[in-house]
Amino acid sequence: MAEKMTWSVADAVDYKGFPADKSKTGGWVPAALSLGIEICERLSTMGIAVNLVTYLEGTMHLASATSANIVTDFMGTAFLLCLLGGFLADSFLGRYKTIAIFATVQTLGTGLLAISTKLPELRPHPCQTVEVTRCKQATGTQMGVLYLSLYLIALGTGGLKSSVSGFGTDQFDEKDEKEKSQMAYFFNRFFFVVSTGTFMAVTVLVYIQDEVGRSWGYGICSISMFVAILIFLSGTRKYRYKKSQGSPVVQIYQVIVAALRKKSVELPANSTMLYEDLPENKRIHHTNQFSFLDKACVITEDDYGNNGSLAANPWKLIPVTRVEEVKMMIRLLPIWATTIIFWTTYAQMITFSVEQASTMERSVGNFQIPAGSLTVFFVAAILITLAIYDRFVMPLWKKWKGKPGFSNLQRIAIGLFLSAMGMTAAAIAEIRRLSVAKTFGLNTTTTTTTTKPLPITVFLLIPQFFLVGAGEAFIYTGQLDFFITQSPKGMKTMSTGLFLTTLSLGFFFSSLLVSVVKAVTGNGNRQGWVGENINNGRLDYFYGLLAALSFINFGLFVLCAYWYKRRTDKNVEDMKIIVVDDENKGNSSL
């Protein structure tokens, strides 16, 4: 029996519910089976997102600003639904079932999208003029089918994305040194896998969509995801399964409700009088910040049962450690809020930047680069930046500063600054593009049927793609590191979901900003900065506005980062004082 327990994982079970046997379950191979799901999810979501705006304008005959907002709303919803997927995985379904169910939903969504782009009845009649306002737009039914397919994909993406990385790491035992090192390898390569899926989407898939047919491209997405599901299910007997321990969202609600119920109760002068039921080695020391929440830890007469013993109701009385975990999550919020704007600038790379590319000369010899494939420079910037940082920056920084690279907050700051510079470069490039459009008379309101590209190279857009792409390499890894390492142990999934909501809100803010700018700058016959046709607008002003907002946000982030570091350092000093006091008390009693 003792030998059997040596080969089992304490906190994991096999598919039958028995303790997981190390020799038969888990490890690198089962973990790798889940990567296929992530690759196909990126292939589908990004393959659709980066080229959807050209379909909405060219085929569905929607205005430029409307098309951009549809794309950003779609992406925003997908990342927002990661919270739903995380909640269901933690509270009810577990990660395995969550991945299987929502991957199936995404398969259905991409299949329906392939059908909607294939059937002529689900598209308006072709129109050759570049003025979309003179073309018959898609009907409500046609748009309804398109929306249904897009949001099925968004639901599938959101549901599975928050569980894939966690399920992969579940296949390793952190208490086993060999498996722990394998887990580190898996985690460090996960973002590379995500980028690989994106790279395939913006090159191969976009080319198939433009040159072979949209339905073929989306059909490949659906079939690929179906195959990935079969591969994932084939490892059922080999996986290790972690039991659901309840959602941290409930814990946060419990702390808030308990504090509100005791809002009139006075806090004791000595924090040691607050309720705590966890052993010393699992406790988090009390801090004075957000003291209102401490009222959830105050013991009152209502907390005692009829027999006079303490009956701790989790909605009325909370241990100090649980309250401190909520405080730790609250301290993350200023950093969380100041990283949202980056994803607003990111949204421009798959919307307006693709529209810019569609109007420019994209020929390389006899080969015509699809407009959506320009985002390959964006993905290339991510991969190059990660490689340079890993091979050169980290060793030099460790030799100079004694630390393995920049801190998570420093990486986020670099990413925010690079994105602000990217928007500046985008504004400069758009000024040049618009001057060429004016010279050739394509920025007038007169009707024209020409679809000939402007005589200006699309490679003028490379700086904005590279700067924002390099920014993502820093900010994505920095955010992920920050939210995982700075959150309580029991709220890692919650903090990952919090990180993903910055992507969601960034896309939604992009939609809101476009709508507001369109309403404020457009009146009468003027379309404003953004509208039906970018040749008739002032996209350079819009990019300039985003650059200004990004630089302001960068300054706010620096202030928030300084506040956070000072506050956490102060907490460490307070804990040292507590330890010293405890030692002195111990010495005085001897």
What does 491-516 look like in DSSP terms, one character per residue? Answer: GHHHHHHHHHHHHHHHHHHHHHHHHH
- Return the pLDDT at 289: 86
Please tell me whether residue 268 adopts helix, strand or coil conformation.
coil
The confidence score (pLDDT) of residue 187 equals: 58
- Tell me, yes or no, whether 350 and 381 share the same domain: yes
Cα 387 to Cα 118, 179, 380, 481: the distances in Å are 40, 25, 11, 18
> Are 221 and 301 in a shared domain?
no
Instruction: Say whether both 440 and 384 belong to one domain.
Output: yes
489: tokens are: 């142990």
**Predicted pLDDT at 431:** 94
Q: Please report whether residue 275 resides in a domain.
A: yes
Q: What are phi and psi of 7, to 5 degrees?
A: -95, 15
Q: Are 547 and 402 found together in one domain?
A: yes
Domain containing residue 119: CATH number? 1.20.1250.20
Residue 536 lies in a domain: yes
Domain end (from 285, 305, 328): 328
Query: Is residue 461 in some structural domain?
Result: yes
Tell me, yes or no, whether 8 lies in a domain. Answer: no
Of 249, 190, 50, 248, the closest CA to residue 476 belongs to 190
Specify the pLDDT at position 304: 84
The CA distance from 402 to 411, in Å, is: 17
Asked whether residue 374 is assigned to any structural domain, the reply reads: yes
What whole-number distance in Å separates Cα of residue 458 and Cα of residue 94? 47
pTM for this prediction: 0.78
**Domain boundary at 280, 310, 328, which?**
328
The reported pLDDT for the residue numbered 448 is 37
Pair (277, 360) in one structural domain = no
Identify whether residues 239 and 378 lie together within a single domain: no
**Quick one: 60 and 177 in the same domain?**
yes
How many domains are there within the chain?
3
The residue to which tokens 């700058």 are assigned = 521
Beta carbons within 8 Å of 388's beta carbon, 6+ residues apart? none
Chunked into runs of 10 residues, the chain (590 residues) has average pLDDT values of: 54 82 82 85 86 86 86 90 83 86 94 92 78 77 93 92 80 75 64 78 86 90 92 90 75 91 89 85 84 90 79 86 90 94 91 87 83 83 85 80 81 95 95 88 47 84 93 88 78 75 91 90 76 83 96 96 78 51 39
**Phi-psi category of 449—alpha, beta or left, where left has phi over 0 and alpha has psi -120 to 50?**
alpha
Cβ atoms of residues 112 and 122 within 8 Å = no
Q: Are residues 288 and 148 in the same domain?
A: no
Last residue of a domain, one of 243, 266, 284: 243
Distance CA 369, CA 13 (A): 50
Residues 553 and 528 in one domain: yes
For residues 439-467, b (16+ Cβ closer than 10 Å) or e, as one string? eeebbeeeeeeeeebbebebbbbbbbbbb
Instruction: For residues 234 and 262, state if they share a domain.
Output: no
Look up residue 223 and give its amino acid: I
Q: Please report which helix (H) or strand (E) contains residue 363, including its range.
A: strand 363-364
Per the domain annotation, does 12 fall within a domain?
no
Say if strands 360-361 and 454-457 run parallel, antiparallel, or are unpaired.
parallel
Residue 1 domain flag:
no
What are the distances in angstroms from CA 55 to CA 11, 205, 312, 335, 355? 49, 14, 58, 36, 11
Shared domain check, 181 and 257: no
Classify residue 3: in a domain, yes or no.
no
Q: Is 111 exposed, middle or buried (0-12, 13-18, 19+ CB in 10 A)?
A: buried
Angle between helices 94-118 and 35-58 (to 10 degrees): 30
Distance of alpha carbon 128 from alpha carbon 118, whole angstroms = 19
Asked whether 416 and 554 are in contact (CB, 8 A), the reply is: yes
What tokens does 98 get? 């969550």
Residue type at 124 in one-letter notation = P
Where are the extended beta strands (E) located within 419-552?
A: 454-457
Domain containing 298 equals 248-328
Contact 310, 236 (CB under 8 A): no
- What is the secondary structure of 149-217 as a DSSP string? HHHHHHHHHHHHHHHHHHHHHTTS-TTSHHHHHHHHHHHHHHHHHHHHHHHHIIIIIHHHHHHT-HHHH
Q: Are residues 443 and 557 in the same domain?
A: yes
Amino acid at 298: V
- Residue 259 to residue 264: CA distance in whole angstroms: 9
pLDDT of amino acid 577: 47
Question: What residue spans of 59-173 are helical by DSSP H?
Answer: 64-80, 82-88, 94-118, 140-169
CA distance 214 to 119: 11
Location of structure tokens 């299987």: 100
